[in-house]
Amino acid sequence: MRTLLTLLLIAVLISSASAHYIWLERADETSARAYFGYWHRGIHEKTGDKLDDIKATGILPADIAGASYRRDDHIEITIKAPGDVALVEETGLRRARIGTEVTRAVALARAGRSQANSLVDLDLVPMVPDGNRFALQFQGSPLADTEITVYDPDRQEQKLTTNALGQVQILTLKAGQYLVRASHTHEQPGETAEGEHYDRTRYGLTLTFSNP
């Protein structure tokens, strides 16, 4: 039985790694843009198609978001204050192909590294504002020996692993936007607001920031 559960979890991890993801870009001090697709492949889903699956209403910090507007390939969100901004998006329940296991999926996106504090449950927090050293944290606790994926402005991929303190150094040798991905599975059952049971929660995080 344990072997079966292990195989099911591996299948979930593989599926998550290849799935679409949400990312945020800070357009300027008064707005942010939520995208859905694969930034590293140049794929931006469109309004009238898969982008419609994204609500982009869970903006953090609280009360920072104003009106939102659906554009052709993104959702534009009015932001009332400067600084880093994040998005929490429930993306549904994933039922196992074999067995009865159910995984709740939550997408998290953060734009910016100017604030050395956590904004979402799973977060890459800069050790100092605008620094290149980050702490990967889940609900405030460090995640050691965890792999992250970094895409540089040329969309070249690099795999890095956090140390025993959950920290990692990201090299920013090129000017432009970087996108970093991390994930974590929290093995705790629960229920959705609609009363549907799930066995665990899979968090997928993206962090974007610009290097001058």
User: pTM for this one?
Assistant: 0.90
Please give the structure tokens belonging to residue 17. 């790694």
Cα–Cα distances (Å) from 95 to 3, 48, 100, 198, in that order, read 18, 26, 7, 9
User: How far does Cα 69 stand from its chain's mean position?
Assistant: 21
What is the residue-level pLDDT of the chain in tens, covering all 212 positions? 444 444 444 444 444 445 899 999 998 999 999 999 999 999 999 999 999 999 999 999 999 999 999 999 999 999 999 999 999 999 999 998 888 899 999 999 999 999 999 999 999 999 999 999 999 999 999 999 999 999 999 999 999 999 999 999 999 999 999 999 999 999 999 999 999 999 999 999 999 999 99
Domain boundaries, the chain: 2-23+84-211
Largest interatomic CA distance in the chain: 52
Cross-strand partners of 145: none
User: In which residue are the tokens 């099911």 written?
Assistant: 8
Tell me how far apart the alpha carbons of residues 97 and 164 are, in angstroms, rounded to a whole number.
35
